[in-house]
Amino acid sequence: MREKFVNRLITLHERFQMNMNVPTAIFGTAGNLQQSIQSREHYRVGVWPCRHTDSPALGNGLMSLLAYLLDSLSDARAYTLFVRTDDDNDAFAWSTAQFGIEDWQPENLNENIAVAAELTRDGAGWSLVLEVENDLVDEDDENSQLTLTYHGETLAELTAQLVTMATDIMTGVGMSAPRFDAYESSTAPDEKLAVLLRGIGLWQTNLTRSLMALKWVDGDLPGAMRDLAGAGAATGESFGAWAASTAIGHALLPGYRNDMENVSTALNDAIATLNSFPFAAVYIGHALYQLGQAEKGYSILEQAVSDHPRSAMGWLTLADMYRRGSRLDDMLDTFQRGIEAEAANAALYRNYGAVLELLNDESLLQSVILIDPEDYDEALASWEAIAAYDEALKLQPESLVVRQRRTQLLLDVAEEASDELVDSLRELIERDKSGEYVRAVVDQLDILEDFEDVLDLLEEAAEAAPERVDRHVNLAVAYMAAEEYELAADALVTAQDLTSDMATQADIARLLLTTEDPDFEGKMGEIEAQVSGGATINGSDIRFLEDVIDSTPSLVEAYILLGRALYLRNDVTGGLETLMDGYEHHPQEAELLLSIGQMLWETGNADTAMDYLSQGLAANPNYVPLLAIVGQYLFEDGQDESAKVYLARAEAISPRDPALERARKNIAAILAGR
C-alpha cells in the first residue's frame, strides 16, 4: 500500500458520487497524478513533522491543528506527511519520525508549499519556528523561503496563535486575505493541553499510517477516538472541544475508508463526552454527512440543536445540510426554529433571507415569522427576506452584501421607486467604496416604471465624488435604463478618462456600444443563442461581430462568438485565427482558452489543445467548464484514471453545472460504445 499512499492522500476528500447519469466508476481514485495536477487546489501544502526533543507527539499535535485550519480553505489542501514511504520498517518509533523536508519528500504529490517546524521549551516558555518553502515563485524570489517564529509563555498562549500562523503562511505564499473560522483561545494549564496535543499528534500520525495500511500504534481507532474526546473535555473549555472534534471529524474523510460500523459506537461516545460544547456534534455530524451518512448526520445535528438551542452554528449547519440534501421544507423550518430559539446571529438571518430569495414556488413557504402576512397582498417570501436582512443589518450594519440584497428585493417588489428603496440605495452608495454593489442594483432598474428619484440620487453621488469612476459608470447604466443614451455616453466618457484599468475600460467600451446601438445587447444575445445551439449565422451577423472586434478589441465575447461562428461555417482556419487574435489580447480568459482547446481537439490537434486547456486551468483552476471538458477529453483518449480527478473536482465545485452535465452524457455514450 505504500505505493498508493500519495494517491490516497490526494483523494482524501473524495467519495463516489451518486445520482449521476454516468457510472460512478469514472469518479474514483486518480491514477496518473502528474497529468491531473492542474485540477487540484492552487495551494497544496505539505506539512512535515514538528521536531521536538521531549515530545514529538505534542509537536505533531500542533502541526495537525495547523493543517486542519489550512485544509479548511476552499483553494488549499494540506497533507500531513508524518510517515515516510521509504521506511520499510512497519514498526513505529518517535525517534525515526523526526525528519524534515530535506530528509524526505513524497514522489508525485506535487505539493507547492512545504512547512516544517521545530518546537522548543525553555525558562521563558515555548517557541515554535516554522520553515516554509514556497515553490509557487522562483528560487531567487525573496518569498521562496519564509521563517516564521512564535512564542508563548504557556501552551495556551502558543495555541492561541494557530490562526495567525495559518494566515501568515498563506499570505506569505501569495493568498489574499485568507479567512479561517475562529475558535476560543485556551486558558487550560500546560499539563492538560499537553495531553490533548500529544493525543492529536499520535492520532494524525496513525491516520497517516492507515493510508499505507499500517497498524494503529498504541491501540485502535475507536479507543483512540474515545481518549481524544476525553482529553478535549478534560480541558474544561471550548478550545479543547474544538481541537478534539476537529481531529475526529478529519478522520471521517472518505479517503480514510474507515469501517463505520466499527467506529459508530465510539463516535456516539465521543459526542456524549463533548456534549457540553455544541460545535463538537456540529463538526462530527457534518463530517458524517460529507461521508454520505446523511441520516446519521441529520440525527446528530438535530440532537445538538435540541441540547444547545442557542447555538447559531448548530442551526446554520443543520439548515445547510438539509439544503444540500434537497429537504427544503426541513431547511426553512430549521431557520425558523433557530430564530424562534433566539439563536440567530447575522449569518443565520442572512442565510435565511438568501434561501427565501431562491424560492421559485411560494407554496414551499409554510409560514412566516418576521412579518405579519396580513400586511402584504403578495410576495410574502420577498418581504420575509427583506425583514431577515433588516435583522442581519442591525447586527452587522457594515455588510454590503446584505444591504445590496435588501435593496434589490425592494426593487423587485416595487413598481416605482419607493422612499424605502431610495433610502436603502442611498445608504448602499455611501458605504460601497468600489461601486460594485450599487452596480448590481442599477443593472435592474429597467424593471421599474418610474425611477426618477433614483436618477437624482445617482447624479448627486457622481457630483459629490467626481473622481470616482464607478459612480459615473453606475449613473450611465441608470441613464441607459431610462433610455437617456446621450447622457449615458457623456457619463461613460467621463469615466473612461479617469481609469487605465483594462477590465474597467472593457466594461465601459461595451456600455458605449449600447449607447450607440440600444439593440446591441439583444443582438449579441441572439447570436450567442444561435452559435451555442450549433446553428450557422448569416453574413450580416459575421460582419457585425467583425465590426465589434475592430471598434472594441477589449470585448472578449466577440472573439469567441466570431471564432465559433466561422468554425460552424466550416471555416476552421478563420475560426482559429479569430480565437488566437483574442488570445493575444486576453491570454488568461477561461472561456476563450476553452474555445481554443475545443476547436483544436475537434480538428485532431490533441496535444496543442491540452496545452491551451492547461493554460486555462492554471489561470482559472476552479472553472468548471474547463475541468469538465478536460475530464471528457482524457476519457476519450483512454486516460480514465486521469479523467477522474478533473471530473471529481468539477463535481465538488458545481455538481449541476451544464458543462459537467454535458460531459457526463458524452462519457456515458463513450462507455456504451466500448
- As a three-state string, the secondary structure of 118-142 is EEEEECCEEEEEEEEEECCCCCCCC
pLDDT category at 628 given cuts 50, 70, 90 is: very high
Query: Looking at domain 41-183, which CATH architecture does it have?
Result: 3-Layer(aba) Sandwich (3.40)
Asked whether the predicted pLDDT for residue 169 surpasses 90, the reply is yes
CATH of 529-673 among 1.25.40.10, 1.25.40.80, 3.40.640.10, 1.10.1040.10 = 1.25.40.10
pLDDT category at 254 given cuts 50, 70, 90 is: confident
Q: Which of 11-15, 52-56, 194-198, 276-280 has the highest average model confidence (pLDDT)?
A: 194-198
Are 610 and 632 in contact, with CB atoms under 8 Å apart?
no
Of the candidate ranges 9-13, 128-132, 242-246, the one whose mean pLDDT is the lowest: 9-13
Express each pLDDT in 80-124 by its tens digit: 999 998 876 677 888 888 899 999 998 888 889 999 999 999 999
Q: List the beta bridge partners of residue 147.
A: 131
Residue located via cell numbers 471529524: 249
Which pLDDT does position 18 carry in this prediction? 31
The 3-state DSSP class for residue 416 equals strand
Asked whether the predicted pLDDT for residue 159 surpasses 60, the reply is yes
Of the candidate ranges 12-16, 102-106, 520-524, 609-613, the one whose mean pLDDT is the lowest: 12-16
Which pLDDT does position 24 carry in this prediction? 31
pLDDT category at 333 given cuts 50, 70, 90 is: very high
Of the candidate ranges 199-208, 284-293, 446-455, the one whose mean pLDDT is the lowest: 284-293
> Which of 379, 436, 435 is closest to 411 using CA atoms?
379
Which pLDDT does position 627 carry in this prediction? 94
* 618, amino acid identity: A
Residue located via cell numbers 418610474: 450
pLDDT category at 40 given cuts 50, 70, 90 is: low
Angle between helices 278-291 and 294-307 (to 10 degrees): 170
Burial group, residue 447, by CB count within 10 angstroms (0-12, 13-18, 19+) = exposed
- Nearby residues of 249 by Cβ (< 8 Å), 6 or more positions away: 283, 284, 286, 287
Asked whether the predicted pLDDT for residue 32 surpasses 60, the reply is no
Residue located via cell numbers 417570501: 381
Residue located via cell numbers 483512454: 638
Cα distance between residue 494 and residue 489, in whole Å: 9
Cα distance between residue 479 and residue 488, in whole Å: 5
pLDDT category at 17 given cuts 50, 70, 90 is: very low
Asked whether the predicted pLDDT for residue 652 surpasses 50, the reply is yes
Which pLDDT does position 644 carry in this prediction? 84
Asked whether the predicted pLDDT for residue 34 surpasses 50, the reply is no
Cell triple for residue 319? 439548515
Q: Percent of the chain scored above 70 by pLDDT?
A: 95
Average pLDDT along the chain: 90
Asked whether the predicted pLDDT for residue 21 surpasses 60, the reply is no
Cα distance between residue 391 and residue 646, in whole Å: 41
Cα distance between residue 101 and residue 133, in whole Å: 9
Residue 312, CA atoms < 13 Å, CB-side half-sphere? 12
The enclosing H or E element of 213 equals none
Q: Would you report the helix, strand and coil content of the chain in percent, each value rounded to 5?
A: 60, 5, 30
The enclosing H or E element of 78 equals strand 76-80
Cα distance between residue 252 and residue 222, in whole Å: 12
Asked whether the predicted pLDDT for residue 591 surpasses 90, the reply is yes
List the chain domain ranges.
41-183, 529-673
First-to-last alpha carbon distance for the chain, in angstroms, is 31
Cα diameter, the chain: 83
Mean pLDDT of 126-134: 96
Which pLDDT does position 2 carry in this prediction? 60
Which pLDDT does position 19 carry in this prediction? 32
Q: Which of 38-42, 328-332, 645-649 has the highest average model confidence (pLDDT)?
A: 328-332
Q: Percent of the chain scored above 90 by pLDDT?
A: 70
Q: Strand 125-134 relative to strand 113-122: parallel, antiparallel, unpaired?
A: antiparallel
Mean pLDDT of 566-572: 95
Higher pLDDT, 483 or 6: 483
Higher pLDDT, 650 or 567: 567
pLDDT category at 654 given cuts 50, 70, 90 is: confident
Which pLDDT does position 396 carry in this prediction? 95
Asked whether the predicted pLDDT for residue 335 surpasses 80, the reply is yes
Asked whether the predicted pLDDT for residue 177 surpasses 80, the reply is yes
The 3-state DSSP class for residue 117 equals strand
Are 111 and 79 in contact, with CB atoms under 8 Å apart?
yes
Mean pLDDT of 488-497: 97
Cα distance between residue 158 and residue 150, in whole Å: 7
Residue located via cell numbers 525528519: 99
Are 311 and 343 in contact, with CB atoms under 8 Å apart?
yes
pLDDT category at 1 given cuts 50, 70, 90 is: low
Mean pLDDT of 595-624: 95
E strand intervals along 138-190: 145-152
pLDDT category at 28 given cuts 50, 70, 90 is: very low
Higher pLDDT, 377 or 509: 509
Which pLDDT does position 93 carry in this prediction? 86
Number of neighbouring beta carbons within 10 Å of residue 222: 19
Cα distance between residue 145 and residue 139, in whole Å: 8
> Which of 32, 497, 269 is closest to 489 using CA atoms?
497
Of the candidate ranges 122-136, 565-579, 645-659, the one whose mean pLDDT is the lowest: 645-659
Express each pLDDT in 184-233 by its tens digit: 899 999 999 999 999 999 999 999 999 988 888 888 999 999 999 999 99
Cα distance between residue 366 and residue 336, in whole Å: 11
Mean pLDDT of 146-150: 97
Are 611 and 600 in contact, with CB atoms under 8 Å apart?
no
Residue located via cell numbers 431562491: 358
DSSP label at residue 215: P
> Which of 242, 224, 222 is closest to 233 using CA atoms?
242
Burial group, residue 400, by CB count within 10 angstroms (0-12, 13-18, 19+) = middle
Mean pLDDT of 637-648: 86
Cα distance between residue 87 and residue 84, in whole Å: 6
Mean pLDDT of 246-268: 84
pLDDT category at 642 given cuts 50, 70, 90 is: confident
Are 193 and 156 in contact, with CB atoms under 8 Å apart?
yes
Higher pLDDT, 673 or 131: 131
